[in-house]
Structure 1
Amino acid sequence: MVDISEEKSVDGCPYKFKAKFLPSSSSSTNSIRFSPDGRIIATCSSDGIVRIYDADTYKLQTELKGHTRGVSSIEFSPIDSNILVSCSDDLTIRLWSIKKSKCIRILQKHTYHITTIKFSSKGNVLVSGSADETITIWDITTGKPLKTLAAHSDPVSSISLTPDNSIIVSASYDGLMRLFDTESGQCLKTLTYNSSSHGTATASTNDVVNFPISNVECSPNGKFILSSSLDGTLRLWNYMDNKVVKTYVDTIPVSENYNCGAKFITKSKSSMIASGSEKSGVLIWDVQSKKIVGRLGDGETESSPVLDVDVYDEGRLLVSCSKDGWVRVWELS
């Protein structure tokens, strides 16, 4: 079901609505990704199915079936749009050939729900995070785990890699962000939000605001980390200086219960951030002014939580997926 009827957005919004479609009427769509060549949109759902769509017509091309429980996250190989990886509550990571509609490898080591996965930029290494509180680094060619890091004291909610792949950034419901050396697995530093010093790597436990961190995203230039916390706030960190340099707050908390993804947009004249939200659709923030310059979706407070967003061509195209299953596609004006 594809719907191209216009949707509301704020005046002066940098994005125009293209289409929306419903992958499955009964399941939450948990994650969404463009393929590196921009020809495919992939979604994964709580029904355990990964669905592949044509990015021009939005028609379903194939369904990848094999997971026995809900799929939390998906990632395309950055060097091959035919290869996609998915992670699930069934404790497996599956590597798929899209052309063959077939699982070509299963990775297993985690002992609890796998929540997040990320490819290195060369596509030869995969990093996974789990509710078992660990991070595993995998060799994709052999399917073997290279290292397992005891990362957090609560489930790992999100991971990101710096553009040069040298640092793994992890976030957890323990309220901490940790930076690991990818090669050695050594923890380089721990970042916590501190109410008095507004972000530090050496906070005393008395004034640490331990709100769960639900999402982390490295900036394209590798100098900053964007974190989303369940206090409803997004924060931009200069992680080398252990400081929060920008804070993004809406009148309604962005997210308090769900992991609502976020991505950087660099195609526009001034850099922007697209973030999912629980009640306000997709929010478009101006990085420097911290103002919301666009609200995408129906704009109503009772709208379904937007669980993930992704961009193609530095933000020329934007997709979002929601807990009610709907996928929406937008184009930079």
Structure 2
Amino acid sequence: MLCVSMVTAVRTESTMRLKRFLLRYFPPGIILEYEKGGELKTKSIDLLELSPETDVERLVEEIRVAEPLITASRSQQVALLIRRLQEKLGQPEQRRFYLFKVLRAHILPLTNVAFNKAGSSFITGSYDRTCKVWDTSSGEELHTLEGHRNVVYAIQFNNPYGDKIATGSFDKTCKLWSAETGECFHTFKGHTAEIVCLAFNPQSTLVATGSMDTTAKLWDVKSGEEALTLSGHSAEIISLSFNTVGDRLITGSFDHTVSVWDIPSGRKIHTLIGHRGEISSAQFNWDCSLVATASMDKSCRLWDATSGKCVATLTGHEDEVLDVAFDSTGQLVATASADGTARVYSAASRKCIAKLEGHDGEISKICFNAQGTRLLTASSDKTSRLWDPQTGQCVQALEGHMDEIFSCAFNYEGNIIITGSKDNTCRIWR
């Protein structure tokens, strides 16, 4: 039976009226737009285990039983949407990427790259104290975001909206910018050491920043005021991320622990204790049931997000684990290590299903495309590589950078890649 995850509605059909369906390809799901008490609301039906082989009629029946907004008269419409999702999932992944442009992006090495949700533009951060906004289709520079007094290290769009950019700097401040005009809306001041990680909440109302001062702070996007300070770690915070709902934040620290915080109260719910080395990365899966943590102790751990209990220790690497990523459905976990290899594990069985070998240097970044059909790695060997996560086969090496690659990213469609390097350039691959 396919597991259908959804926000359960109270059975008050008389007060709720379905307006329309929206399709979400990655991860597969159907968004219901409905009216309740004169207000327009949305809820999602997540079809995380959907495959081309799923029995559609049976699935529609399961959805109807669980969701009062889906009446008998809507069944065929829902079946049609599910078949469209199946079609998308069934498309073979055979794309080969070619170098489209080399951008002499900055006068000093790059720190990070990031796409907006549409993939129409991307940003680069640099040791030269700036962040630049680029047009993906032409490779033209749209804006230079100037004002920081030290390295611009952490950068992000407020996806899915993509109209704002946050930049975190070694100058201890975070700045909020207009993606359209390059205007600086706010400078968030309060940290007493370098900011090394940041994230927007899904609603784009808050920016979270993590600092070497051992604290994380939340900032109000509208007012520019500090909303919360999250204290409790005894060493630097180097990783943070929101869950997909926005009511939880995780912070990973050099104190070997990860904290789970309730938002907006700022209360610490769990401390994830068990690693024997510094945390390098921490991520939620899509349905917020699991947290994955990567550590300098050569392991990755999976934790139950509700109880805070460790449910698996993923071993096999011979050196520090530098990055971890879930695929969009949360069924696969990928790890990148200083040992020059990456690994793919099943989140359900917790077994290693593929070992990715081929890099000649440490792998600092790893990410899935939205479809979950390809993995992208960035390495100190000056290459980025594309992998089949099921077989571990390297399907393409992206070569040409003159120095180590720090950062890499797919656009949402999975047909464009950006790589950022210590050689001061970034490359667009299509």
| Post-superposition offset of 1:155 | 1.1
Aligned to 2:303: 180
TM-score, normalised on structure 2? 0.60
Distance in 1 (alpha carbons) for counterparts of 2:422 and 2:311: 35
Distance in 2 (alpha carbons) for counterparts of 1:137 and 1:170: 12
Amino acid of the structure 2 residue aligned with 1:50: C
| Post-superposition offset of 1:213 | 0.8
The question of whether the paired residues in 2 share the 8 Å contact of 1:272 and 1:287 is answered with yes
Choose 309-318 or 109-118, whichever is displaced more.
309-318
Tell me whether 1:293 sits opposite 2:396 in the alignment.
yes
Change beyond 3 A, Cα 1:242–1:74:
same
Distance in 2 (alpha carbons) for counterparts of 1:62 and 1:28: 18
Change beyond 3 A, Cα 1:130–1:240:
same
Structure 1 residues 96-245: aligned runs within 5 Å: 96-193=219-316, 209-245=317-353
Which structure has more relative contact order (CA 8 Å, sep 6+)? It is 1
The question of whether the paired residues in 2 share the 8 Å contact of 1:73 and 1:86 is answered with yes
| Post-superposition offset of 1:285 | 3.5
Aligned to 2:172: 48
Match of 2:412 among 276, 290, 313: 313
Distance in 2 (alpha carbons) for counterparts of 1:316 and 1:61: 32
| Post-superposition offset of 1:183 | 1.0
Match of 1:272 among 363, 374, 392: 374
Distance in 2 (alpha carbons) for counterparts of 1:294 and 1:54: 35
Distance in 2 (alpha carbons) for counterparts of 1:51 and 1:323: 24
Tell me whether 1:81 sits opposite 2:204 in the alignment.
yes
| Post-superposition offset of 1:146 | 1.4
Q: Deviations over 1:118-146 (max 9, x none)?
A: 21110011111111111111011111211
Q: Deviations over 1:158-214 (max 9, x none)?
A: 111121111111111111211111111111121211xxxxxxxxxxxxxxx542111
Alignment RMSD: 3.1
| Post-superposition offset of 1:226 | 0.5
- Greater per-residue helix proportion: 2
- Greater per-residue strand proportion: 1
| Post-superposition offset of 1:279 | 3.8
Residue 261 of structure 1 aligns to a residue in which SS? strand
Aligned to 1:25: 128
Aligned to 1:263: 367
Q: Deviations over 1:192-248 (max 9, x none)?
A: 11xxxxxxxxxxxxxxx5421111111112111010111011111123333222222
| Post-superposition offset of 1:13 | 1.9
The question of whether the paired residues in 2 share the 8 Å contact of 1:14 and 1:293 is answered with no
| Post-superposition offset of 1:284 | 3.8
Change beyond 3 A, Cα 1:140–1:251:
closer
Aligned to 1:206: none
The question of whether the paired residues in 1 share the 8 Å contact of 2:331 and 2:346 is answered with yes
Distance in 1 (alpha carbons) for counterparts of 2:177 and 2:425: 11
TM-score, normalised on structure 1? 0.76
Aligned to 1:13: 97
Distance in 2 (alpha carbons) for counterparts of 1:64 and 1:320: 29
Q: How many residues of Structure 1 are paired with residues of Structure 2 in the alignment?
A: 295
Change beyond 3 A, Cα 1:47–1:171:
same
Q: Which runs of 5+ in 1 are unaligned?
A: 1-10, 194-208
Q: Deviations over 1:26-55 (max 9, x none)?
A: 655543333212333434333333344554
Distance in 1 (alpha carbons) for counterparts of 2:179 and 2:416: 10
Distance in 2 (alpha carbons) for counterparts of 1:89 and 1:141: 23
Residue 66 of structure 1 aligns to a residue in which SS? coil
Distance in 1 (alpha carbons) for counterparts of 2:237 and 2:394: 34
Distance in 2 (alpha carbons) for counterparts of 1:134 and 1:153: 9
Q: Which runs of 5+ in 2 are unaligned?
A: 1-94, 106-123, 130-149
Distance in 1 (alpha carbons) for counterparts of 2:199 and 2:417: 16
Tell me whether 1:250 sits opposite 2:358 in the alignment.
yes
Amino acid of the structure 1 residue aligned with 2:326: C
The question of whether the paired residues in 2 share the 8 Å contact of 1:32 and 1:309 is answered with no
Match of 1:68 among 180, 187, 192: 192
| Post-superposition offset of 1:114 | 0.9
Change beyond 3 A, Cα 1:123–1:172:
same
Amino acid of the structure 1 residue aligned with 2:235: Y
Distance in 2 (alpha carbons) for counterparts of 1:311 and 1:272: 10
Aligned to 1:35: 158
The question of whether the paired residues in 2 share the 8 Å contact of 1:22 and 1:327 is answered with no
Q: Percent identity?
A: 25
Aligned to 2:137: none
Choose 67-76 or 240-249, whichever is displaced more.
240-249
